[in-house]
């Protein structure tokens, strides 16, 4: 699929938790000239990681990412551009302990070809994941509603061809089409999605699942983009 996309001059991007990565797959991804890979890692230590990424094991996943980077280095490959994104869970951790854990974690990657590091504050995946500052809590804290930008610049395709407007819609509650029946251009410009954009713009999400329980529309934003995603969004948009 990556080779095919490259043959059509499409930029190929993979975001993964690396739990199913192995040496063979790593080599195939590098050989296919994948443009960009982002590894999402749930915390700096075993306790933090395994409490949030059940049933994955901290050491096993860390080893897989390190081996991928070693292979990339040994081959001398410039691609894929490699980003490691760490989800920083602060609940129950004092700042000094968190700082030490981060330093120890980063030492695992010394001398390896990591192009970019990003720290993310967890979001609730459209209300599917319970976190401390959920949508209701953010509203109580005085945060203002901001329309979600996903509907204007992206589409998400499920394994079976079903299309939803947002990657936070894990369970496909808002289906707007099927790539087996319509083109992506037609789906993106469909009356159904246009109506959804209007609904989101007006803030009429009380009965819209999963939007009504998503914390992203209540987070700090700049021009509709969550501030912690602003730089990656601009970078991707300008490429």
Alpha-carbon separation of residue 70 from 23, 42, 107, 112, 138 (angstroms) = 10, 21, 14, 7, 42
**224: pLDDT strictly greater than 60:** no
- 128-237 has the same fold as 1-122: yes
* Residues 173, 29: Cα–Cα separation, whole Å: 32
**7: pLDDT strictly greater than 60:** yes
Summarize pLDDT for 76-102 with one digit per residue, the tens. Answer: 999 999 999 998 876 667 788 888 999
Q: Which CATH class is domain 1-122?
A: alpha beta
Q: Give the number of other Cβ atoms within 10 Å of residue 177's Cβ.
A: 22
- What number is the average pLDDT over the span 96-114? 94
3-state class of 174 per DSSP? coil
Q: Which CATH number fits domain 128-237: 3.30.565.10, 3.20.20.70, 3.40.630.30, 3.10.300.10?
A: 3.20.20.70
Lowest mean pLDDT among 121-130, 150-159, 170-179, 208-217: 121-130
* Residues 159, 137: Cα–Cα separation, whole Å: 33
- What number is the average pLDDT over the span 146-174? 92
Q: Say if pTM beats, i.e. exceeds, 0.85.
A: no
Would you kindly state where each structural domain of the chain is located, as residue ranges? 1-122, 128-237
Lowest mean pLDDT among 32-41, 104-113, 114-123, 184-193: 114-123
Q: Give the number of other Cβ atoms within 10 Å of residue 108's Cβ.
A: 12
DSSP state of 79: -
- pLDDT range class, residue 229, cuts 50, 70, 90: low
Sheet holding 177-178, edge to edge: 156-157, 162-164, 177-178
- pLDDT range class, residue 221, cuts 50, 70, 90: low
Residue with tokens 């739990």: 19
Phi, psi of 16 (to 5 degrees): -145, 155
């Amino acid at each position: 699929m990556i080779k095919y996309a490259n043959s059509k001059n499409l930029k190929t991007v993979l975001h993964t938790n690396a739990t199913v990565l192995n040496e063979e797959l790593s080599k195939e991804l590098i050989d296919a000239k994948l443009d960009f890979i982002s590894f999402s890692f749930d915390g700096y230590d075993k306790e933090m990681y395994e409490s949030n990424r059940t049933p994955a094991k901290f050491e096993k996943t860390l080893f897989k990412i390190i081996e991928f980077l070693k292979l990339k280095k040994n081959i001398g490959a410039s691609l894929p551009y490699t980003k490691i994104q760490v989800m920083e869970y602060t609940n129950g951790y004092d700042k000094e302990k968190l700082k030490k854990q981060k330093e120890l974690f980063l030492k695992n990657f010394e001398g390896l070809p990591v192009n970019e590091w990003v720290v993310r504050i967890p979001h609730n995946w459209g209300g599917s994941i319970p976190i401390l500052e959920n949508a209701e809590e953010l509203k109580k804290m005085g945060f203002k509603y901001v329309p979600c930008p996903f509907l204007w610049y992206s589409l998400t395709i499920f394994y079976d061809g079903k299309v939803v407007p947002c990657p936070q819609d894990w369970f496909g509650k808002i289906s707007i089409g099927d790539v087996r029946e319509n083109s992506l251009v037609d789906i993106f410009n469909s009356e159904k999605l246009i109506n959804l954009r209007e609904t989101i713009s007006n803030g009429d999400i009380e009965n819209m699942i999963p939007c009504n329980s998503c914390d992203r529309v209540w987070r700090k934003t700049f021009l509709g983009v969550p501030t912690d995603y602003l730089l990656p969004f601009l970078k991707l948009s300008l490429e």
